[in-house]
Structure 1
Amino acid sequence: MSDRHPHDHRPHGHPHDHRPHGSPGPRHRLAHRLAHLLTPHSHETAEKLDPALESSARGMRALWVSLAVLGATALAQAAVVAVSGSVALLGDTVHNAADALTAVPLGIAFVLGRRAATRRFTYGYGRAEDLAGLVIVLTIAASAAFAGWAAVGRLLEPRPVAQVPAVALAALLGFAGNEWVARYRIRVGREIGSAALVADGLHARTDGFTSLAVLLGAGGSALGWHLADPIVGLAITAAIVLVLRDAAREVFRRVLDAVDPALVDRAERAVRAVPGVRGVGELRLRWIGHRLRAELAVVVDGEATLRQAHAIAVEAEHALLHAVPRLTAALVHADPAPAPGEADPHLPLAHHAVA
C-alpha cells in the first residue's frame, strides 16, 4: 500500500499552506496577476503562488538582475580597455562577460523546470538545473585556465600598464559588480535550494578576485615593478581553482543525488512521531532541480485494515512535508509489523536484489 499522488494536498482535505515563507505580499500578488495573464494556470490555487513556481521565478529574477549588472560592468571595462590597451583588464572584461552569459544555461534550466511532467519525463525537467551547474563548473575551469594563461604570458613578456588610474578604477568597478552579484546569487540560490545558482555565484566571486588582481598588478606597474601583474595573476588563478573545487563538489554531489544527512535524520524523526508508525524502513531523498522528493517505508500494525494503513501513510507524508524544507512529494509504503512464524512478505522480491 502506498500513497502515490504528488502534492498539492487537496485530495486529502488539508487546508494547510506549506510554504515556509508565509503569505505572499503585494509584490508577489502583482507577480501572480501578471503570470495569470501570460502563462497557463489553474484557478484552484486562488490567490496563492505555487512554491515551486515562485522559487523558479526568484531564480529567473536573480539571473536577469545579475546579467544586467555584469553586462554593464563589462561594457564600462571595455571602454577603459579601448583607451588604455591593458591586456590584464581585457582578460578581466572577457571574464566578466562570460560570467554574465552563464545566466543563459541557468535561465533555460529554470524555464524547463516549470514544464509539467510527461509520459517520458515522469519526474519533470527539474534536473536540467544540474546540467546547467555542470556547464557553470566547466566555465569556471575555463576561466581558471584563461587567467593562468594570461598570467604566464605576461610573466614571459612583462610590459607597463598605460592609463593606470583608469585601469585601477575599472578594476574596482569589476570587483564591486562581481561581489554584489555573487552575494545575490548565492543568497537566492541557497534560499530556493538551487546548487547551480550557488555555483554561479561562486563563479562571480572568482571574477571579483580577478579584478583585484588587475588592480594590484596595475599598482605594481605604476611603481615600476612590471612582474607584479603576472605574479598576482598566478595567485588569483590558484584561488579560482580552490573555488572551482568547492563548486564542482557541490554540483557533482547534486548530480549523484546526494543530500545532507541531517535532512534524512530530520525526516526519520518526523515520521517516527506519527501515531501508528512502529518503525521506519528504507528512506530516500533526492533533489530534482531545487525541489526534494522522498520515498520511504513505514512499519504499521499487521492487523490494520487497508484504510487504516493508508491513513497512517498519509499522515507520515504530511509530517514529512512540514518537517523537510523544499519537499514537494513523498511516496510512502506501509509494511506490516512481523508476526511470529510469518514469512517475510518481501520474500518474492529477494531474487531481484542486487548482489
Structure 2
Amino acid sequence: MHDDGHGPGPARRQDQGAARHEHGHSHHRAHSPSHEGARAAGRLRHRLAHLLTPHSHESADRLDPALEASARGLRALWVSLAVLGATAAVQAVVVVLSGSVALLGDTVHNTADALTAVPLGIAFLLGRRAANRRFTYGYGRAEDLAGLAIVLTIGASAAFAGWTAFERLLSPRPVEHVPAVAVAALVGFAGNEWVARYRIRVGRSIGSAALVADGLHARTDGFTSLAVLAGAGGSALGWQAADPVVGLAITAAIALMLRDAAREVLRRVMDAVDPALVDRAERALSAVEGVHGVGELRLRWIGHRLRAEVAVVVDGEATVRQAHAIAVDAEHALLHAVPRLTAALVHADPAPVAGQADPHLALAHHARV
C-alpha cells in the first residue's frame, strides 16, 4: 500500500508489502527471459509516459490535494454561513413586523441551514489530523457524523415549522406588511439558491456527501421562500389561511428533502459506493500486466477520500519481488483510474493449480456463515 502521509517509511513499507504479497511459497522459479523482457519494455514505456506527463504519487503529493479539498470545503462553509446569516437576519426583522408564520418557518430553516456549517466545519478540521494508533484510518469519518447532525437539524426545523403553521391554521390572523414579506421571500430565495449552487459544486468536486446534502438543503429552502411569496399573495387577497397553509406546504417540502439527504448520508455511513467506481477499478486492474484475475474488491469512503482493498491473482510461480511489483503496478493503476482514491491495499493470490490445496485453507474456519 502506498503511504498517504501517516504510515511507515518507504523501506519498511517495501518489506511489509513483500511479506503480504507472499503466500508462504518456499520454492519459486524465475519467469522466462521473454516474459521478463516484456515486463521491462512495459515499464520503460510507462516511465517515458511519466516524463512526458510529469506527476507523482509520493505521500506528500497525494496528501496536498486532500488538504486542499478540506480547505475548499471550509471556505464553502464559511462563505455560506455569511450569506445565509445575512439572509436570515433580513427575514427575521420582517417576521417581527409582519407576524407571518410562513416566513417564520423559512427564517428558522435558513438559520438552521447556516448553523449546519459549524459541525461540518469541525469535521473538515478533524479530517486534516494525522492518523494514529487508535484512529488508524484517520478522522475522515467525522464528516459522516456531521452529515447525520445536518439531517437531525433539518428534521428539527421541519417539526418546528410544521407545528407553528398548524397552530396558526387553528387560530388564523391577518399578515401585516405583506409587501415586506414578499421582498423577504425573494431575498430568501436568492440567498439560498446561490448557496445551494456553491455548496453542491464544491461538494461534488471534493467528494463530500455531507456538503452536497447541505447544498440540497439550501436549494429546498430557496423554493420554500417562493412558497412564502405565494402565501403573501394569498394574504393580500384576503385569504387569512394562506399563510399557515403555505407554512404546512413548506414543512412537506422540507420532509421530502430530508428523505433524500438522509438516504445519501446513511449510504455513506454504511460504506456504500457508486457501483460504477467498482467497475472502473476492476477494468483498471484487469489491464495490469501480470494480473490474471481480480478477486475480492472493496472501496470505502473515509470523509471525502476513497480507500481500496483488493486481491489480485498472479502467477503462482512468481517470486516475492515479482508478485510485489505486480501489486505495486495494480495500485498505481487504481490511483489513476478511480477519482479521489488516496491509497489501496493490494493482496497477491497465486493462480490455482489442479491438485494443489487452496492456500487459504487455514483461514476457512474463520469464514463467516
Deviation at 1:304, TM superposition (A): 0.7
Secondary structure in structure 2 of the residue aligned to 1:153: helix
Amino acid at match of 2:158: A
Distance 1:7 1:266 in 2: 25
Aligned to 1:339: 353
The partner residue of 1:240 within 241, 254, 264 is: 254
Deviation digits for residues 255-297 of structure 1 (CA, Å, limit 9, x no counterpart): 0000011100100000000000000000000000000000000
Secondary structure in structure 2 of the residue aligned to 1:122: coil
Indicate yes or no: 2:334 matched with 1:296.
Answer: no
Matched-pair contact (CA < 8 Å) for 1:7–1:328: no
Indicate yes or no: 2:123 matched with 1:109.
Answer: yes
Secondary structure in structure 2 of the residue aligned to 1:340: coil
Distance 1:18 1:221 in 2: 63
**Number of equivalences:** 328
Matched-pair contact (CA < 8 Å) for 1:18–1:322: no
Aligned to 1:31: none
With the length of structure 2 as denominator, give the TM-score of the two structures. Answer: 0.84
Q: What is the correspondence of 1:49-88 to structure 2 with a 5 Å cutoff?
A: 50-88=64-102
Deviation at 1:123, TM superposition (A): 0.2
Deviation at 1:82, TM superposition (A): 3.3
Amino acid at match of 1:252: L
Deviation digits for residues 207-234 of structure 1 (CA, Å, limit 9, x no counterpart): 2233222211111011001111222222
Structure 1 residues 44 and 178: CA distance shift in structure 2, 3 A: closer
Amino acid at match of 2:90: A
Aligned to 2:36: none
The partner residue of 2:365 within 340, 351, 354 is: 351
The partner residue of 1:195 within 198, 205, 209 is: 209
Indicate yes or no: 2:121 matched with 1:90.
Answer: no
Indicate yes or no: 2:299 matched with 1:261.
Answer: no
Amino acid at match of 2:106: D
Distance 1:291 1:350 in 2: 32
Deviation at 1:5, TM superposition (A): 3.7
Deviation at 1:238, TM superposition (A): 1.7
The partner residue of 1:251 within 254, 265, 280 is: 265
Identity of aligned residues (%): 81
Look at both structures and tell me which one has the larger radius of gyration over its CA atoms: 2
Distance 1:219 1:354 in 2: 63
Distance 2:91 2:253 in 1: 22
Distance 2:348 2:5 in 1: 19
The partner residue of 2:335 within 307, 310, 321 is: 321
Matched-pair contact (CA < 8 Å) for 1:85–1:162: yes
Distance 2:265 2:368 in 1: 28
Secondary structure in structure 2 of the residue aligned to 1:50: helix
Q: What is the correspondence of 1:105-144 to structure 2 with a 5 Å cutoff?
A: 105-144=119-158
Secondary structure in structure 1 of the residue aligned to 2:348: strand
The partner residue of 2:231 within 217, 223, 229 is: 217
Amino acid at match of 2:81: L
Secondary structure in structure 1 of the residue aligned to 2:189: helix
Q: Which runs of 5+ in 1 are unaligned?
A: 20-41
Secondary structure in structure 1 of the residue aligned to 2:192: helix
Deviation digits for residues 146-167 of structure 1 (CA, Å, limit 9, x no counterpart): 2211221121111111011111
Deviation at 1:44, TM superposition (A): 6.2
Aligned to 1:272: 286
The partner residue of 1:227 within 231, 241, 248 is: 241
Deviation digits for residues 178-215 of structure 1 (CA, Å, limit 9, x no counterpart): 11111111111111110110111111122223322221
Secondary structure in structure 2 of the residue aligned to 1:93: helix
Amino acid at match of 1:78: A
Q: Which runs of 5+ in 2 are unaligned?
A: 15-46
Distance 1:88 1:119 in 2: 51
Structure 1 residues 237 and 113: CA distance shift in structure 2, 3 A: same
Distance 1:177 1:240 in 2: 17
Aligned to 2:55: 17
The partner residue of 2:192 within 158, 178, 189 is: 178
Deviation at 1:43, TM superposition (A): 12
Distance 1:79 1:350 in 2: 68
Matched-pair contact (CA < 8 Å) for 1:274–1:316: yes
Amino acid at match of 1:162: E
Deviation digits for residues 234-263 of structure 1 (CA, Å, limit 9, x no counterpart): 222222111111111000000000001110
Distance 2:267 2:91 in 1: 36
Aligned to 2:41: none
Matched-pair contact (CA < 8 Å) for 2:4–2:60: no
Indicate yes or no: 2:159 matched with 1:150.
Answer: no
With the length of structure 1 as denominator, give the TM-score of the two structures. Answer: 0.87
